[in-house]
Structure 1
Amino acid sequence: MFKVQAFVGQCARQLFSQTLQHVEFIFVDDCSPDESSNIVKEVLEDFPARKPHVQIVRHEQNKGLPSARNTGLSLANGDYIFHCDGDDWLETNALELLWNKAQEEQADLVFCDWYLSFKNNERYMTQDPGIVDLDGLELIKLMLSGKVKYNVWNKLVKRDLYLDHDIRFPDGYGMGEDMTMIRLSAVTKKVSYLPMALYHYVQLNNDAFTKKHSDKHFEQIRFNVNQTLSYLKDRFGDKLLEDMEFFKLNIKLPFLISSDIVSYKRWNEWYPESNKFIDKNPSFNFRTRFIQKAAMRKQYWLIKGYYYLVIRIVYGLIYR
């Protein structure tokens, strides 16, 4: 929790209302300057049966999101771990459905669909992998291509995967810390997909870490990308060479969802060796290929026109 007092009340209420009873809840206050912790305590008063299973811990100084996740992991005792960010919220049957799926299929990792939530409406984000029997390597390929997101917050993961393989979130490198899910997938044997949207990723928090952009944040992304690629290379050798080029393209793609020419130029500066793989990634649709090729040819006026026409006008009117 960091600067989420406008959102954490709903988040906590949805968590305490979960239909799954055997859950421990760990709230990590990352030295937030607001009333986030007190709001959680107030909501908890309405759920007295949950009190023995709730911990609220506070960092004495702001350490960042990866450190907060690691603090939670160090305190957790459950068989599975689920992360929920303090400005988002979860359907009340989400944990039970994910848990049941994990038990039925003896899965190490279960992921589901999610909602991109705006003020007045939501967009359903499907994660359908198109594969029935998934293992960790197949999931990694889907993540690298962009077909399945490596977001941390729509996945139920066996705690032993963290412990047995010493996998933690990258302290001090918050942008792109979700890439830790790729490492977890690398040590996962059985993966299951639940075709239901259970998580609401809220787009209203202007203080959200992912909405901030600075040279420091870009350095953090590069660090996490390079660490992830190095890990995959060491573990799988040449098996994922093409997939890793898809990953680089997906990492820099957000630079083109902008009206800023500086951002377009950054796209050209980052991982230029991956540009020749634009047509090879089966997860890219026509529009995604179009703006990348326009950027590669430095036809920035086309990208800016796409941004205002599609992102600002079409999506801006539908999702707000």
Structure 2
Amino acid sequence: MVQNQPLVSVIVPVYNVELYIEECLKSIIKQNYQMLQIIIVDDGSTDTSNQKVKTFLLDSRVQLIQQENKGLSSARNSGLKAAIGKYVLFVDSDDHIELTAVKELVNLMEEKQIDLIRFNGKAFLDGLNKPIKQNNYDFSHRLQEGKKYIQDRFKANRQTLASPVYLYMVKREILVKNALSFYEGILHEDELFTIQVFLNSNSMCYVNAFYYNRRYRENSIMTNQSPERLQQTFNSYQVIYKELRNLYLKNEYSKEQKKLIKREMVSIYSGLMTSSIKKSEKKQGLKKIKGINLIDKGYIYIKKVINIVK
């Protein structure tokens, strides 16, 4: 190992991914960057994921945390508590990353002296090598590559914000200093966590490189559209909306930062409005946040959409 290179903590939450975990971990272990702390958090898997993970423990950079099933947020938080690296990277256990990703990201973080770096990803369907034709993880039309975005220049622009945490490398100091963690017990926790990282970061850079490979598989959290899952998503968005409102009401944020929060609230509320749960349940749920309005003429949209469901 090159001892003067900064350590990177890679956090991998694991739950019943026996078909994919080996590909995921190999893509991390085989990086052309050696200074890694690979933290695997087994969130109570009931398949052979745990046994497969243990075969990687011969590598001294790999450590395994085992816990009862508490959900993705809890697993990521356990990883954050164990992290000691200068930088943090999240990789979901059914996905994989390109072998040059860490080195190139670290080099740019060090060169630009930034808190946060964002990169692209490719989505693909499980069992198929052909990527999905979409630009959900391609931000080249929104951001200028290599430009150092400083403070309010990116905080006020929601186009610079993408919620998936696996599309960022972040300086761990930002997370520790501001006591940032994932909200437990909800889905789509990235929607809340990432904006808090943005609010507490002073500089960001974008690299137009597709380092992350995002797998879409049947019955995963992201593709499950059962009535129960739709209701869980709706309930989670209610929580996220209320938490964003609490952030907005804090006096510590600038005008530009609050613009970012308000824009994210509009996005979350739109998600609530377009939910496919029963209309009666949607109305009842929206009433719970009916009184949470933003006193700002530029964002009366929220009040308008609330009136739609009266």
Given candidates 91, 97, 113, the residue that maps to 2:104 is: 97
In structure 1, the residue matched to 2:32 is: 19
Check 1:178–1:58 CA distance in 2 against 1; reply closer, same or farther (3 A cut).
farther
Confirm or deny: 8 A CA contact 1:4 1:86 kept in the other structure: yes
Within 5 Å, give how 1:1-320 maps onto structure 2: 1-42=14-55, 44=56, 51-59=59-67, 61-118=68-125, 119=128, 120-122=130-132, 123-124=134-135, 125-128=137-140, 129-130=142-143, 132-142=147-157, 145-208=158-221, 211=224, 213-234=229-250, 235-236=252-253, 238-254=255-271, 260=276, 262=278, 266=282, 269=286
Instruction: Name the count of aligned residue pairs.
Output: 276
**Secondary structure, in 3 states, of the residue corresponding to 2:176?**
helix
Contact 1:151 1:179 in 2 (8 A): no
1-structure distance, mates of 2:249, 2:50: 41
Give the letter for the 2:265 counterpart.
Answer: K
CA positional deviation for 1:219: 2.3
| Structure 2: runs of 5+ lacking an equivalent | 1-13
C-alpha separation between the residues in 1 aligned to 2:188 and 2:272?
A: 14
Equivalent pair of 2:156/2:259 in contact (CA under 8 Å) = no
Q: Higher strand share goes to which structure?
A: 2
Give, in angstroms, the shift of residue 182 of structure 1. 1.4
Cα distance between partner residues in 1 of 2:105 and 2:255: 33
User: Which one-letter code corresponds to 2:194 in the other structure?
Assistant: M
Q: Distance in 2 between matches of 1:256 and 1:127?
A: 26
**How far 1:190 moved relative to its partner?**
1.8
Q: 3-state DSSP class of the match of 2:60?
A: helix
CA distance in 1, matches of 2:255, 2:306: 29
Look up the equivalent residue of 1:57 and give its one-letter code: I
Partner Cα separation in structure 2 for residue 277 and residue 210 of structure 1 = 34
Contact 1:146/1:250 (CA < 8 Å) preserved in 2? no
- Find the residue that maps to 1:195 and give its secondary structure: strand
Instruction: Give the CA deviation at 1:297.
Output: 7.5
Question: Secondary structure of 1:130's match?
Answer: coil
Residues 15, 92 of structure 1: 8 Å contact kept: yes
User: Pairwise CA RMSD of aligned residues?
Assistant: 3.4
TM-score by length of 2: 0.76
SS in structure 2 at match of 1:236: coil
CA distance in 1, matches of 2:242, 2:23: 36
In the aligned structure 2, how far is the partner of 1:179 from the partner of 1:86?
21
Instruction: Give the secondary-structure state (helix, strand or coil) at the position aligned to 2:209.
Output: strand
Change (3 A) 1:170 1:265: closer
Report which stretch shifted further, 4-13 or 81-90. Answer: 4-13
Q: Distance in 2 between matches of 1:243 and 1:21?
A: 37
State the 1:223 CA deviation: 1.6
Q: Work out whether residues 146 and 247 of structure 1, in 8 Å CA contact, stay in contact via their aligned partners in 2.
A: no
> Quick one: structure 1 residues 83 and 110, their matched pair in 2 at CA, closer, same or farther if it must change by over 3 Å?
same
Could you say if the C-alpha distance between residues 246 and 166 of structure 1 is closer, same or farther in structure 2, counting changes exceeding 3 Å? closer
Greater share of residues in helix: 1
Aligned equivalents of 1:279, 1:233: Cα separation in 2: 17
Q: TM-score, normalised by structure 1?
A: 0.74
Question: Shift of residue 155 of structure 1?
Answer: 0.7
Distance 1:297 1:178 in 2: 24
Partner deviation per Cα, 1:217-260 (whole Å, 9 max, x = no partner):
422322223223322431325445554443223224456778x4
* 1:239/1:136 CA distance change after superposition, 3 Å: closer
Amino acid at match of 1:189: N
Q: What SS does structure 1 have at the residue aligned with 2:117?
A: strand
Distance 1:294 1:202 in 2: 34
Contact 1:256 1:264 in 2 (8 A): no
Whether the aligned pair in 2 keeps the contact of 1:114 and 1:154 (CA below 8 Å) is yes
- Aligned identity (percent) is 20
Q: What letter is aligned with 1:155?
A: Y
Cα displacement (A) at 1:31? 0.5
1:35 Cα deviation after fit: 1.2
Structure 1 residue ranges without an equivalent (≥5): 281-292, 299-320
